Each structure stands twice: as C-alpha cells, then as structure tokens.
Structure 1
Amino acid sequence: MSASSILKKSAVVTAGSLVAGVGYASLIERNAFAVREVTMPVLSPGSSPLKVLHISDLHMRPQQRRKQDWLRDLARLEPDFVVNTGDNLSHPKAVPAVVQALGDLLSVPGVFVFGSNDYFGPRPKNPLNYVTNPTHRVHGEPLPWQDLRAAFTERGWLDMTHTRREFEVGGLLIAAAGVDDPHLKRDRYETIAGPANPAVNLRLGLTHSPEPRVLDRFAADGYQLIMAGHTHGGQVCLPLYGAVVTNCELDRSRAKGASQWGAHTQLHVSAGIGTSPYAPVRFCCRPEATLLTLIAAPTGGSYEGIREGQSHPSVSVR
C-alpha cells in the first residue's frame, strides 16, 4: 500500500472517529443523567448527618421533557436540604418548566444564588474563546430571573444573593452567605464580609462561579463548605487528562466534585445538569446532581476523609 493510500485511510478513520465522538457526546452522554454521592466531614464536631442535594446549571428550555422528568424524580432521594447554584434558565419562557421540574424539591428547605444564564440568554460563541480568551463575555437577551426568584421564594427557598442568614434544618443550625455571579463580576463580597458564626453546625458559602478571589474570602471568614457550579465539570474532558477548561480562574483539577480549599474549608463544584443550546455536548463528563452526606469533622478541625462514590444512573430516566 502506498504512502498516500495510508494517509487517506488514516484521514477517513480519524474523521469517522470524530463524527462518532460528536454523535455520542451530543446524543447520548448529554442525556445520561446521573446522581453522584459524596460524604464530606465538614460539620462541627457532634453534629448529626445532613443530606444535601446540590443542583446547578439546569440551562432549561421548555421542551426538554427528559431533563424535566429526571429532575422531578430527584425528590425520591429525600434530601434534608437543597442547594441550587444557578444557571437555571436557557430560554425566556423556561421559568414554568424549571418550577414544575423541581416539583416536590421546592417543598424541601433550600437556598439559591443566580448565575449568568439566569440573567441573560445564551448566544452563539466561538468555542476557542473558552481556551484562548476565557474572560470574553457575550450576553444574550435578558431572562426573567425576577419571576424565577419569586417562584423559588414563594415556595420557601432562600435567596442568598449578597445575604447572610442563619436558619435551622434537620435540627442543625446553618449560617449561610452568598454572592452574585462572579463570572459577570457582579460579586460584592464586602456586603457579606465578616467572620461566620462559629457556634453553628455548618458555615456555608454559595457562589455560582468558583472564582478563587471569592473562595479565598469565604475561607478567610471561616466557612466550612463552599458550593458552586458554572464549570459543567469541564463539559468536554479527556481520558487521563480531565477537564480541558473550567471557564473561570479555578484550576482544572477542581472542575467538579469535592476538594480542599485552604486549611479548614472544603469546596464542592457541581458538574451541572445542562448545556448551552449552542454547545449541546458532554464528553467524559455526564450531567449530574450530587447528593452530599455531610457529617461531623473529627475533633481538631481535620477535614481529611472525603468519600466520593461512583456516579450512578438517575433514580428514573425516561
């Protein structure tokens, strides 16, 4: 076989593999919803366990029935507490779909902050910008975030945007604080700055985009756990390499899941549930929610011992 024939055959094989990969990422994996289970020792010593469902980055469109059915079934996990870290919307008429999909979860105590795609709709973007110019911003049409906020708060969820609150869940006292989306540079940490109450069972910080400048402030104020979304876990990951980008200043190794931030703070970044309609692919990074079991940290403040289970299929996928 001539060299030119070998090159042509290689090109055909490469093109075929690329097409197959894109087909898998866009048709199969982006709809392969999963629930990941993680145990994190972050509560004050002596605290009883707390089951927390972390959801983020729904990027909902009205006709996404499969995603909506899967979200509705998450109530079967019976969490004690729900944390929503933003980017719920991807269409100006998606608020009813989000509210109906969350269903019974809205009757569970919950908190939320918003992300960029609660305020502005998606627009086509050059995917190379995520690598070469990650700070580039292109805003779409305004989205009805006020309607979404009203729907959440009417059901009892607490808006943590630039707010500090203390409340009780499952017999535990939680001191929570949150900022507006750092991805849009809407964060004003000074509005919530100051040491968190050391007498509570959990000190919880919330942000949509896990920008290190914000994470550092939460850690300095004594928050035991920070929860964020935005990264989509990288959305496109490579075997043995992981996330290609995080779309923020967070390093790739923390693109999803639990990690330590500083000496006494844990970080959990959700891989998210949806995608932009202009980049409807996931590769080696399934869409997921996370069920965190928070347990008491060992006396002395050591936060070693995070146990992360395997992703498993959703409780009911249709």
Structure 2
Amino acid sequence: MPLLLTPALAGLATAAWGYSELTKFELKEVTVPLLKPGTLRGDKEFKILHISDLHMIPGQEEKIEWVSALSDLEPDLVVNTGDNLSDVAGVPDVLRAVGPLMKYPGLFVFGTNDYWAPRPVNPFKYLWGAKREPSYVDLPWRGMRAAFMEHGWRDATQARHEFQVGNVRLAVAGVDDPHHDLDDYADIAGVPNQDADLALALLHSPEPRVLEKFAADGYQLSLSGHTHGGQICLPGSRALVTNSGIDRKRVQGLHDFGPMKMHVSNGLGTSKFAPVRIFCRPSATLLRITEKAQ
C-alpha cells in the first residue's frame, strides 16, 4: 500500500505547490534598443508595460493589488494582449486591477477568453499540444471594451493606430486572436508609417504565420501572450508545450523573429479549470525601449 500511495502523494504535493505559485507574481524587465539616436531628446527610455492573460476570477484580491501597483512604474504606454477573463463575473475585478493603469496611454487586443468562457481542460490534450475548441459561452467583453476605451485605451483588434506619446511617434497594428483563426491580416496589411519612431505589432497568440507578415511589413516589435510561458515547465522555466505555433525556446520573453523583436508574456493568470503553474510564475514585463548606439 505505501508504494501505491507514494506517487499519489507526490502528485498532490506538486499540485499544491503549483497552485501556490499562482500568486507569486514577478516583474520582468528588458531593455530593447530600437529607436534612432536623438528620438528621445535627452530622455533615457520609453517604457512599455506589457500585461496579458489576467484570466480574472472574482475575488482574486492578491492579483488585483499586485496589478494595480504596477502604476507606480509610471509607464509611458500600457499594452494589454488579451484573455482578461476566466469567469462571466470577472469584468469588475479586471477594471479594479487595471484601473490605476488606465491613466496612462494604452492599447489592447483580445483573446478568445475575452469573448468566451473557459471550459474544463483535459490535461493530456494540453500536454499533447492539441488545440482546444472554445466553449462559445459568451462573456461580457463589450462592456469591458467600452470601459477600456472610455479611459483612453485604444482597441488595436483588427485596427491600425498612429499617435504620439511624449517624444515618440507610434505606429501600431493589431489582429484578433490568431490561435482560433479570428484574425484577418488583410485588414491591417501594409508597412507602418515611415515617419513613426516605433512600430508595434499586437496579437494575443504568437502564431508564426501572422508574425511573419508583421515582420515582412517592417514592424519592429511584436507583443503577445496566450502561452502562459508554457505554464507547466521543467526547472529553468523550460516549456513542455506552447499551446501555439511558436517553438518552445521562444514561448516566453524577448526573442528575435526574423528582423523583428518579439516579446511573449508569461501572463498573470490561468484558466480557472487549470489553476496551476510549475516553474513558470505569473508575470508582467516592463520593456525599456532605448535609442540604438550611434
């Protein structure tokens, strides 16, 4: 009997540890030299706060408090790459979490867990990398979108935007969630404005077929989430699967994608049906965009 109990107890201990990791939030920081010399006119950097995959469930007070406190970073721009919800009643807590961030300029694109509620997950299907069909149970995303926009955040879902923040002129394009083929790149295709200082590409899931088009059009930096950094990883945060078309080595963090830089967020939550993280803590990232060396 003890021999039979040992694997079960080890599994329970691992699950308990993985559950405890859900609130051990981390702030990652990376420096990316993308701007032409002189763009910042004496400023040190242009700060982009990248958040993703809140997967909010009512009552997640530690997450709300931690995300709210990110406003102290005083970012120049906030980018939210979707999957804000994991419950039909999650919108008020999403707005509590990001409320202090909405005093800064912001952009967002949505993922399928903004539109439709999560569904129970077969863990073996996840580990095999099989795509899971959405539940098609509607979430109240329209009200959340309206609240974001009323506070000045721009919806980059199937849209292009050009605007200036401080000394930096931005050209931004985004698509709807490509993981479930909701995107149509033709809507936003074409090179970014050549007068822009920084060209950003936004998408929820880092699907190579879309990233290739952004890179070919000349975007400098893509921002995405969806992968949860692998969520179930080996020591060293080495992902077992990516739940997307991106390779395991680029499932999280800053990488090259051809001539374009690509940042994939670990995300800040998980589906309420898979509340565990192994060697892959939830995180947001502060990207410090600097001038290139002369």
Query: Normalized against structure 2, the TM-score is what?
Result: 0.94
Aligned to 2:13: 20
- The alpha-carbon deviation at position 12 of structure 1 amounts to 4.5
User: Is 2:102 aligned against 1:106?
Assistant: yes
- Distance (Å, rounded) in 2 between the aligned partners of 1:131 and 1:235: 11
Contact 2:65 2:97 in 1 (8 A): yes
Aligned to 2:232: 236
- The amino acid that maps onto 2:289 is L
User: Is 2:269 aligned against 1:274?
Assistant: yes
1:84-139 C-alpha deviation (Å, 9 max, x unpaired): 00000111121111112112211100000000100000110212222335223131
Contact 2:116 2:134 in 1 (8 A): no
- Distance (Å, rounded) in 2 between the aligned partners of 1:120 and 1:128: 22
- Identity between Structure 1 and Structure 2 (%): 50
- Distance (Å, rounded) in 1 between the aligned partners of 2:129 and 2:77: 37
- The alpha-carbon deviation at position 236 of structure 1 amounts to 0.8
Contact 1:162 1:192 in 2 (8 A): yes
**Structure 2 residue matching 1:194: 3-state secondary structure:** coil
- The alpha-carbon deviation at position 11 of structure 1 amounts to 5.1
**Structure 2 residue matching 1:128: 3-state secondary structure:** helix
Equivalent residues in 2 for 1:44-123, closer than 5 Å: 44-48=36-40, 49-123=45-119
**Structure 1 residue matching 2:123: 3-state secondary structure:** coil
- The 1:241/1:285 distance shift into structure 2, 3 A limit, reads closer
User: Is 2:36 aligned against 1:33?
Assistant: no
- The amino acid that maps onto 1:17 is A
- The 1:240/1:148 distance shift into structure 2, 3 A limit, reads closer
Can you give the 5+ residue segments of structure 1 that lack an aligned partner in the other structure? Answer: 1-7, 300-318
Equivalent residues in 2 for 1:287-302, closer than 5 Å: 287-298=282-293
Query: Normalized against structure 1, the TM-score is what?
Result: 0.87
1:14-70 C-alpha deviation (Å, 9 max, x unpaired): 4333221111101x2111011111111122333322011000000001211111111
- Distance (Å, rounded) in 2 between the aligned partners of 1:59 and 1:76: 22
- The 1:153/1:188 distance shift into structure 2, 3 A limit, reads same
Aligned to 1:199: 195
Larger Rg computed on CA atoms: 1
**Structure 1 residue matching 2:191: 3-state secondary structure:** coil
Aligned to 1:174: 170
Equivalent residues in 2 for 1:119-268, closer than 5 Å: 119-132=115-128, 134-239=130-235, 242-262=238-258, 264-268=259-263
Contact 2:129 2:241 in 1 (8 A): no
- Distance (Å, rounded) in 2 between the aligned partners of 1:240 and 1:163: 37
- Distance (Å, rounded) in 2 between the aligned partners of 1:65 and 1:46: 43
1:202-234 C-alpha deviation (Å, 9 max, x unpaired): 000000011000100000000000000000000
Can you give the 5+ residue segments of structure 2 that lack an aligned partner in the other structure? Answer: none
C-alpha RMSD of matched pairs (Å): 1.5
- Distance (Å, rounded) in 1 between the aligned partners of 2:237 and 2:3: 24
- Distance (Å, rounded) in 1 between the aligned partners of 2:249 and 2:134: 26
- Distance (Å, rounded) in 1 between the aligned partners of 2:131 and 2:179: 8
Aligned to 1:5: none
- The 1:15/1:182 distance shift into structure 2, 3 A limit, reads same
Instruction: Identify which range, 95-104 or 202-211, moves more after superposition.
Output: 95-104
